[in-house]
Amino acid sequence: MSADLVKGQYVDPDAGKIPFETYARKWIDAQTFEETTREAVGLRLRLHAFPILGDRYLSEIQPSTIQSWLRTLADLAPTYRKVVFANVSTVFTAAVDDELIPKNPCKAPSVRKPRSDPRKLVPWTSKRVLAVRDALPDRYQIVVWLGAGLGLRQGEIFGLSPDDIDFDASEVHVRRQVKLFSSNRQVFGLPKGRKTRKVPLPDAVADAITAYMTAHPPVEVTRPWMTLDGKPTTVSLLLTTREKGAMNRNYFNTYLWRPALERAGVPDLRENGCHALRHFFASTALHEGETIKAVSEYLGHADPGFTLRTYTHLMEGSSERTRRAIDTAFLGEDEEGDE
Q: What is the pLDDT of residues 143-155, one digit of tens each?
A: 999 999 999 999 9
Model pLDDT, residue 177 = 97
* % of the chain beyond a pLDDT of 70: 90
Tell me the Cα Rg of the chain.
25
Model pLDDT, residue 84 = 96
Q: What is the pLDDT of residues 170-197, one digit of tens each?
A: 999 999 999 998 778 999 999 998 899 9
Residue 316 has pLDDT above 50, yes or no: yes
Model pLDDT, residue 36 = 84
Strand residues in the chain grouped as ranges (E): 165-166, 171-174, 177-180, 186-189, 197-200, 219-224, 232-237
313 contacts: CB under 8 Å, gap ≥ 6: 120, 121
Model pLDDT, residue 336 = 47
**Lowest-pLDDT choice from 4-8, 109-113, 206-210, 270-274:** 4-8
* Side chain identity at residue 105, one-letter code: P
Over residues 191-220, the mean pLDDT reads: 95
Model pLDDT, residue 293 = 93
Instruction: DSSP for 57-104, please give it.
Output: BGGG--HHHHHHHHHTTTTS-HHHHHHHHHHHHHHHHHHHHTTSSSS-
Mean pLDDT value across the chain: 89
The structural architecture, per CATH, of the domain 13-107 is Orthogonal Bundle (1.10)
Q: What is the pLDDT of residues 223-280, one digit of tens each?
A: 999 989 999 999 999 999 999 999 999 999 999 999 999 999 999 998 899 999 999 9
Q: Tell if the pTM clears 0.75, that is, is over it.
A: yes
Over residues 324-328, the mean pLDDT reads: 72
- The C-alpha atoms of residue 285 and residue 275 are separated, in whole angstroms, by 16
Strand residues in 158-243 grouped as ranges (E): 165-166, 171-174, 177-180, 186-189, 197-200, 219-224, 232-237
Model pLDDT, residue 339 = 46
* Side chain identity at residue 67, one-letter code: Q
Over residues 54-78, the mean pLDDT reads: 93
- The C-alpha atoms of residue 199 and residue 203 are separated, in whole angstroms, by 13
- Provide the residue ranges of all domains of the chain, joining segments of one domain with +: 13-107, 126-314
Residue 329 has pLDDT above 90, yes or no: no
Over residues 203-225, the mean pLDDT reads: 96
pLDDT-derived band at 44 (thresholds 50, 70, 90) equals very high
Over residues 38-61, the mean pLDDT reads: 94
What are the Cα distances from residue 235, in Å, to 152, 195, 242, 246? 18, 19, 17, 10
297 contacts: CB under 8 Å, gap ≥ 6: 197
Higher pLDDT, residue 290 or 212: 212
For 126-314, give the CATH class. Answer: mainly alpha
